[in-house]
Chains A and B, each alone.
Chain A
């Protein structure tokens, strides 16, 4: 028999028993939809999680801290030379020191204490910018500031120490880009001949504001609480301003004198591949620094997600399994009902292989149609999930249920194969029926 004839005959037999076919298809539909929706939830959650992490460059970056920082005696220091050493480690693609110091921002009656980070241009470029903002330029005379989107919440009234945002829930009347914003470094200490500490406040500067980090005051990202500037500009400014003095936030030697170079307490090392993060991390730790990366955590989190996906898929698979039993039952009944018809076909010379294929195709049809409808239903359910669920679980604006193309294809192929597997035994049974059934008269 031709393949097209097998298809038409199978479809014809299914069409003849519409209600039964529809009911069986319904079972497959529910099974397919439950698997697809369950898996789409797993995939969606994983995607949401991963995209959050990759957007922070967390997958391949290592944070290096020097906790020995500050005490000047025989201590390990993280300097520009150290960065060169980091770069010599295999698989390292970049080493970005961060110079950080506390600053006070002030405007009118408001003040805020924030961390100012001087970071290299390559790393600055990773910070998402609000509209109309630019990155702080490299090696300018005065450092240009990039202000975190949450910094505005940190302003307090300097006279009363009250935070308008935290205490009253309203944003302080501070204009971060338009009006003059004063920046003040930490005061410098010197010890006079009598041994008294002299605290000398730093002078207030006006640093140009290059822009804001993307996001509203309340949306969190890893940059939102800090102020960033170009590393070279910051170094140059500090060196020029505090010539011969101790730069705020920098260590001193045994005698309280400043070093001629900058010491960093934080750096970020980037690695070519997630697989190598662990090795590099160990190498840095051997040098005496604290190295921390999220790669390991992400890996185990990914494995956990896989398990969750498997469990979700398994739950869906149970209903598909039940549907498969339904198909087998339908096919079995259909074969008993059509014993005579099968006998006639055999008498008329229909090959055994053809009879097997006729029934396998019927079962496959049920699986295939169920799969297709199941996928349509899945899309509707997935859409509803994305409409209703994200606000409830704190993934606002993200798709919590994602159906990739491969899942669609696999779902259709799988449901069709399940149909055929369920139809195999009945089809085998059909080939064994006696042609004599056609002769019997009832």
Chain B
């Protein structure tokens, strides 16, 4: 296992908030590694510090102390501008509440991160189209978010995260706003994408059941890692989720 490429390396990470005169240790010395092509779940209850950890991994928050290296780049030293540029080039993000642009169609939403990269419109839409097909939404590509179900919206969110061909993808409670059936479909889709396209995905959830889709589960409590589980049970990609695979070329 150790000969695999390390994508994320976290060392001795602390995040301390000051609430009035009290110090709250949201993260209290966390170290772990995530490897390329791995689906890693961070599981913890509300207030365990799992979201703080994800925010710092994605460069949305600065750690108080410690190091985060993503593909060897230390993001804890970056300023706001560098972080934005870093996310633009290396990171895909899936939100709990989807966060699609209400004024844009599904395909435009998927193409949005490419817009920030300055990719020409034609090229953008071509790549977005591919991603839309990958998540099985080509019938809905011209729909706006309010014309789609939660599951469909989250698939758009997934395609949006994938379109930039990121080194690492983060998912923040991606099924938090979905019912159990759609949640399972979503998890299967994510599992498939990781398997077939060799993506690295870090997901935060409070649900142990969903965490079972991951290769590895990091349990976190009171800002500390209490247990890291290797998941030996392999999830087989289901048919409907893998059906679109041939249309996605490797970039």
| A contacts, CB < 8 Å to B | 1-2, 4-5, 9, 12-13, 15-16, 340-341, 344-352, 354, 434-436, 438-439, 441
Contact = CB atoms under 8 A, between A and B. Distances in A.
B226 interface: no
Contacts of A352: 80-81, 84
B14 interface: no
Contacts of A12: 103-104
A53 to B, nearest CB: 59
A419 B146 CA distance: 32
Given A16-B103, A341-B101, A436 B60 contact: yes
Contact of A1 (B60, B118, B172): B118
A5 B116 CA distance: 9
B58 A347 contact: yes
B88 A351 contact: yes
A291 B170 CA distance: 91
Interface of B: 51, 55, 58, 60-61, 80-81, 84-85, 87-89, 91, 93, 95-97, 99, 101-104, 112-113, 115-118, 120-121, 160, 164, 172, 176
A2 B111 CA distance: 13
A4 B121 CA distance: 10
B152 to A, nearest CB: 18
Q: Which 7 A-B pairs have the closest CB atoms?
A: A349-B88, A344-B99, A349-B87, A350-B116, A348-B113, A435-B60, A349-B116
Contact of B99 (A4, A16, A340, A349): A340
A349 B101 contact: no
Given A347-B87, A348-B112, A436 B55 contact: yes
Contacts of B55: 436, 439
Given A13-B103, A349-B85, A439 B60 contact: yes
Contacts of A9: 115
Contacts of B87: 347-349
B168 to A, nearest CB: 13
Contacts of B91: 349
Given A2-B115, A348-B116, 12 more contacts: A4-B121, A12-B104, A15-B103, A344-B95, A344-B101, A345-B112, A349-B91, A349-B116, A349-B164, A350-B88, A354-B116, A434-B60
A84 B176 CA distance: 103
A183 B225 CA distance: 123
A15 B55 CA distance: 33
Given A436-B55, A441-B97, A349 B81 contact: no
A302 to B, nearest CB: 53
B112 A351 contact: no
27 contacts: A2-B115, A2-B120, A12-B103, A13-B103, A16-B102, A340-B99, A344-B99, A345-B112, A346-B84, A347-B58, A347-B87, A347-B93, A348-B93, A348-B112, A348-B113, A349-B87, A349-B88, A349-B91, A349-B116, A349-B164, A350-B116, A351-B88, A434-B60, A435-B60, A436-B60, A438-B99, A439-B95
B116 A351 contact: yes
A349 B60 contact: no
